[in-house]
Structure 1
């Protein structure tokens, strides 16, 4: 605890964030550690990402204790958790737990020149440094990813822990509260149409940015509400000022632009129709059984045979040259969405429990005496 401490902290965890998305992923981890005064979490920014410019400021806005990378001492921490296998994690002489950066391990490893054939998060390039396996624990969202890890980095298979997907479990746990989320959005009886876009030139916003305005124009605001959820890398790279400028007319017509650091989970649960691409939110929406349309799909980024790849084969596609309103009204859940969910996430409903077990085992503390389960997400209001 130290001379100046008050709470009897027995173990300290370092949350390593490299992008705003990584911080967003960690917000699904924290509920599994809630209420235990034996634990303390501090944060560090792993340099190297093009999207980390305002990350330290974001941490401070969320009232988190930040440790400079150069000031990290192994003796001060029992475990580091990183929702990414990228960055200089090998420089931390702390046991490390990595987790999927999104809805499982479905994307190819990106480089400055394009995409490799390796699976992002499960490749030897990311997991091994100078013949040393960097993570102590490699968290997986499904047991079928063990085979992918074996193919990409066989020497790391014994580090794998199947923990499921805490974000998907929280979304499922939130469904009974759907009316509360719609109330926060002031949706009323209107059909809520949510446009979700990942980042990059293969994304829905990258290829069809005008679709946002077109949908707002053709969907009468007394019967429809339109919301836009952009991957945090888009405002991180281009600025929130530019996102606001690009959407000024659409916002004057009622478009809700969801902030990159809060709200998207509640908006997704509240949605009547989701229009998306190959990003994680597309897989979450489809797996939840929300009526769904694909606007774009970056096939080159997705590993063949994964649930994300199968989504492209099963989903209905939005035709930008046809009647948009008619297509929105005709949208239906993806065929076999229950199977899609079970192929993407396992064990469904138990990720908080699995996650807590893995973390407490790593830090050497007995589990708390109270049960843990997926918590519903927070209500989001555009005016809050």
Structure 2
């Protein structure tokens, strides 16, 4: 390791000008890697961080946008190349890095080296270990420090690019450390996402021709059409390069059916990591996200094999070889996603071959970076920042195709109804369509056998008083009269109370009990219970006792009573 060019100065020495740290970025993915490292300099006025965009990347537009949106100072490439920097940090060795003057520190931009790209560098060599990018024209290493996450990566670096081994350091992974630090936020993340007791299935797509979204672009929608909404929540993690290549508008357009069915779409920075913390299962291709999921011992299900891009014998190749397979048609999704884990060690063992020194990346790298800067590190140890960003909670779908199963055939209580709710465009046969008034389109509202709305509270803003209110009873009458397919109309008054009227009957109140077990209280969407009520009332008069609504295997008791004047008169 080269000696610092200037004498080391202590944190209390303010006589020296600040050291310039340049973050050289080629893509948004590389930028995010560097941002996870920057807490090593938190609170130190002796260090000044600036960014520049290394030309030549197909994904540089989003990288520049991400830098600008962060509020960081950005140097133009000519300006960055015209001066010497005290330290240059980069997470991608490609491009015109040789034009930048100053000691360079290279970090991986993924979980190891599991992918080989045939259209750049040396064919069949793992991306990130290619001498074509790691050495200068005179065969010297480009990096003064090559930070790696595991000793095996050092051995692979030595095998593919021997001159670079001398600069290698096993330092762990700053991104993994942020994820591990945030594990205690799982419950808060799930609450913010509205997951509840559902199984959160995270789909992960890398970029390129072998990615999940390229190979199986309809998979999110197919899974949404087969996995009941009240049992599963779907989320999608998309590689930042795919965001850059496709654009967020076009990506959302392609995913619109799945998004309308409740799919959570992660943004390209730390939202993906929060989904891993919150998630229960990861369905993946050969992208790095799968190894981060394995580091949390999450079950991993493979839907793509990586084709010629996957490096044989790599940690990712071993993980995918051992993972259960999901049929891209989605027909076996429920069985695969709920299958018990095989006996023995979980998926973490595959991540242990990719990540070393968990929790120690900043503590390991900090002294090395400060030595290159010629500064004495602060006495306060650097700590990673916990994850804070979450995807926006999805909107509840505005309409459902409802599958109904009655219990008489199983010898159970005839007043037990099992409900599965799927998107209206599912190819499975269903009992009735349920639509939310004011959110579903007019065709769905007119076709729905069950039409419901959710009551709203009084608005506080003075401008909002200039409107006409109606009572819940009036709205029930109008809904049944104005919508040809409507057989049951309902108003959700609260999470535990609804007002319901059949086309040929009087209104009544439905009181919903939460499910209590093992010290936990579980609630469900009242609209799901309304579908059970609608199905039961379609076969005869209201039950004498409580109606049991089984939703995601959980029984909820619904009590049907005569409607009260207070419920009838509530404003909606």
**Shared fold by TM > 0.5?**
yes
Greater shift, 313-322 or 266-275, is seen at 313-322
Post-superposition offset of 1:337: 2.6
2:382 equivalent in structure 1: 372
Change (3 A) 1:135 1:310: same
Post-superposition offset of 1:215: 1.1
Give the helix-richer structure, 1 or 2: 1
Q: 2: CA distance between counterparts of 1:282 and 1:354? A: 25
1:215 equivalent in structure 2: 223
Change (3 A) 1:349 1:51: same
Alignment of 1:258-269 (within 5 A): 258-269=266-277
Alignment of 1:44-193 (within 5 A): 44-72=52-80, 75=83, 77-112=85-120, 116-131=123-138, 132-193=140-201
Post-superposition offset of 1:55: 2.5
Q: 2: CA distance between counterparts of 1:214 and 1:236? A: 25
1:303 to 303, 311, 314: 311
Q: 2: CA distance between counterparts of 1:9 and 1:221? A: 59
Post-superposition offset of 1:267: 1.0
Q: What secondary structure, in the 3-state scheme, does the structure 1 residue paired with 2:30 have?
A: helix
Structure 2 unmatched ranges of 5 or more: 1-13, 395-572
Post-superposition offset of 1:341: 2.4
2:242 to 209, 212, 234: 234
1:27 aligned to 2:35?
yes
Post-superposition offset of 1:193: 1.0
What is the root-mean-square deviation of aligned Cα atoms in Å? 2.2
Post-superposition offset of 1:373: 3.3
Post-superposition offset of 1:14: 0.5
User: Any conservation in 2 of the 1:204–1:297 contact (CA below 8 Å)?
Assistant: no
Aligned length: 378
User: Any conservation in 1 of the 2:53–2:76 contact (CA below 8 Å)?
Assistant: yes
Q: What secondary structure, in the 3-state scheme, does the structure 2 residue paired with 1:187 have?
A: coil
1:153-176 Cα offsets, whole Å, 9 max, x none, are: 111211111111111122122112
1:255 equivalent in structure 2: 263
Q: 2: CA distance between counterparts of 1:57 and 1:199? A: 19
Alignment of 1:324-343 (within 5 A): 324-330=333-339, 332=341, 335-343=345-353
Post-superposition offset of 1:33: 2.3
Which protein has greater RCO, CA pairs closer than 8 Å, 6+ apart? Answer: 1
- For the pair shown, the structure with the greater C-alpha radius of gyration is 2
Structure 1 unmatched ranges of 5 or more: 1-5
1:3 equivalent in structure 2: none
Post-superposition offset of 1:79: 0.5
